[in-house]
């Protein structure tokens, strides 16, 4: 009977602002960071990991929010947690005093998501399965029991979810086997060439490399200067040719009318989608933008705070592509609801990744989506950024533009000790040496 004996947090920050990796129209100088947590148990070999991705300042506050959940978790029985992850998730989400701090949004909700994800990491390890296969091994009713349907039943009832999941049982074994073959995984797209701070020459070189590496889609950041966007897009389109998809991403830069006119001025470059044209909270705004764009697909979701926002984006016919994030909402459980909503509305899920460890986490959700919920969706792609994976024990891998199925038990969330020694903030060796230079 292993029990959770401790919840520990680490404030981890990488100095990515130094080379403008991750720069975009709204985030000119991010320091990619993780508010990282470890659930320790009285079995020294069994630890669960989770994290919230942030971009620097405030990562300490995010750690404090995760740490505040320790009394809710420490002392619980591991088997009780992993055998009823719906109840575990609900116990955190529905704590009325913590809930007031959102509700179900922002720092407190992300903290809960990180703890929930760490519990799924424990569950995968206990089952000896990567989390996506653990999910795929669960019965439809077990999966339904993981989901909080509050605020969803006007568009998705537990009975409807059960029917979707039961349909997903047919051919499941064949899909899982295919997903595990080389080249049979989830297609990736890459944002590596597209950061706004990169000079055009670097964009071109990286775009060509992406095509050579086998990617069928790249993404460019836009929204600071229309002329600059046009010249970078023209060059990128020439570099990759007509058959590689090019998406663009404005990172919430525009108001509604500006989004429509700006994107229309880029339409000639054959856009795969416009991502985050405006506030992630503006459901009606996204719907108006989509109507105004005459068929250019609209994508959003990495900053959608919870399932209620996704529900409405789908109800309002505001998006063509739904972009879940593994560490923004309340963890695996809420993302199960999000995947089910997308299926109900027939919208492909192309997760947001990059950052610190987001590829590692979200690949599990997409492989499960392909196996049991969304099934065969040709548009499904996971974002891939070739960056910071070396810090993970079980890094996400893409080959010839396709994610390989995760194989190790758990959620691929564990970061190496040597990384903490260097990048823990402010005591790691990198930040200490920076402090000395400053």
For a second copy, give the closer residue by CB, 57 or 264. 57
For a second copy, give the closer residue by CB, 329 or 415. 329
Rounded to the nearest 5 percent, the helix, strand and coil shares of the chain are: 45, 15, 40
Instruction: Give pairs for 88-92: CB < 8 Å, separation 24+.
Output: 88/116, 88/119, 89/116, 89/119, 89/146, 89/148, 89/330, 89/331, 89/333, 89/334, 90/148, 92/116, 92/330
Note if the bond before 103 is cis, omega within 30 degrees.
Answer: yes
Q: Which of 49, 219, 221, 253 is catalytic?
A: 221
For a second copy, give the closer residue by CB, 31 or 229. 31
**Shortest distance in whole angstroms from residue 375 CB to a second copy:** 28
For a second copy, give the closer residue by CB, 63 or 239. 63
**Shortest distance in whole angstroms from residue 239 CB to a second copy:** 29
128 class by beta-carbon count within 10 Å (0-12 exposed, 13-18 middle, 19+ buried): exposed
Q: What angle do CA 71, 77, 80 make, to 5 degrees?
A: 115
Task: By CB under 8 A, name the binding residues for a second copy.
Answer: 26-31, 54-58, 60-62, 64-65, 68, 95-110, 150-154, 252, 255-258, 278-285, 288, 303, 305-306, 308-309, 311-312, 315-316
**Shortest distance in whole angstroms from residue 108 CB to a second copy:** 6
- Spatial separation of the C-alpha atoms in residues 9 and 419, rounded to whole Å: 14
221 assigned to active site = yes
Q: In this structure, what DSSP letter does residue 3 have?
A: B
Contact (Cβ atoms closer than 8 angstroms) between residue 142 and residue 332: no
202 assigned to active site = no
Rounded to the nearest 10 degrees, the angle between the axes of helix 106-127 and helix 59-67 is 60
Q: In this structure, what DSSP letter does residue 95 have?
A: -
For a second copy, give the closer residue by CB, 30 or 130. 30
- Spatial separation of the C-alpha atoms in residues 173 and 181, rounded to whole Å: 13
Q: Which of 219, 352, 364, 391 is catalytic?
A: 352
Q: Is 358 left (phi over 0), alpha (psi -120 to 50) or beta?
A: alpha
Say how far residue 50 (Cα) sits from the centre of its chain: 13
**Shortest distance in whole angstroms from residue 115 CB to a second copy:** 14
**Shortest distance in whole angstroms from residue 29 CB to a second copy:** 7
For a second copy, give the closer residue by CB, 133 or 276. 276
> Looking at the annotation, which residues are catalytic?
221, 352
């Amino acid at each position: 009977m292993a029990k959770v004996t401790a919840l520990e947090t680490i404030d981890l920050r990488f100095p990515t602002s130094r080379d403008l990796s991750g720069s975009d129209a709204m985030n000119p100088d991010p320091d990619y960071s993780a508010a990282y947590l470890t659930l320790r148990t009285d079995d020294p070999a069994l630890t669960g990991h989770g994290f919230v991705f942030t971009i620097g300042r405030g990562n300490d506050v995010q750690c404090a929010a995760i740490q505040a959940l320790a009394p809710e978790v420490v002392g619980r029985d591991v088997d009780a947690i992993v055998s009823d992850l719906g109840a575990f998730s609900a116990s955190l989400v529905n704590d009325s005093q913590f809930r007031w701090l959102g509700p179900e949004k922002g720092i407190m909700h992300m903290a809960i998501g990180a703890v929930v994800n760490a519990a799924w990491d424990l569950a995968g390890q206990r089952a000896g399965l990567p989390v996506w296969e653990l999910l795929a091994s669960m019965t439809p009713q077990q999966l339904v029991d993981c989901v909080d349907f509050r605020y969803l039943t006007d568009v998705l009832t537990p009975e409807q979810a059960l029917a979707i999941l039961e349909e997903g049982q047919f051919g499941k074994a064949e899909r899982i086997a295919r997903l595990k073959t080389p080249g049979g995984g989830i297609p990736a797209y890459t944002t590596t060439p597209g950061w706004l701070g990169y000079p055009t020459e670097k964009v071109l070189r990286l775009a060509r490399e992406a095509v050579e590496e086998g990617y069928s889609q790249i993404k460019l950041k836009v929204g600071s200067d229309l002329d600059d966007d046009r010249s970078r897009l023209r060059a990128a389109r020439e570099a990759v040719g007509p058959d590689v998809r090019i998406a663009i991403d404005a990172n919430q830069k525009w108001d509604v009318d500006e989004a429509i006119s700006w994107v229309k001025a880029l339409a000639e470059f054959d856009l795969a989608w416009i991502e985050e044209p405006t506030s992630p909270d503006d459901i009606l705004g996204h719907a108006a933008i989509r109507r105004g764009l005459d068929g250019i697909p609209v994508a959003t979701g990495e900053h959608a705070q919870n399932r209620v926002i996704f529900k409405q984006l789908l109800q309002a016919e505001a998006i063509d592509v739904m972009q879940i994030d593994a560490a923004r909402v309340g963890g695996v459980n809420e993302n199960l609801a999000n995947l089910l909503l997308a299926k109900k509305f027939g919208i492909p899920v192309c997760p947001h990744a990059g950052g610190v460890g987001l590829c590692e986490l979200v690949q599990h959700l997409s492989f499960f989506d392909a196996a049991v919920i969304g099934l065969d969706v040709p548009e499904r792609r996971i974002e891939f950024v070739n960056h910071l994976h070396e810090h993970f024990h079980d890094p996400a891998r893409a080959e010839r533009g396709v994610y390989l199925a995760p194989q190790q038990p758990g959620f691929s969330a564990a970061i190496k000790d040597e990384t903490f020694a260097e990048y823990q903030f402010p005591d790691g060796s990198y930040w200490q040496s920076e402090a000395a230079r400053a």
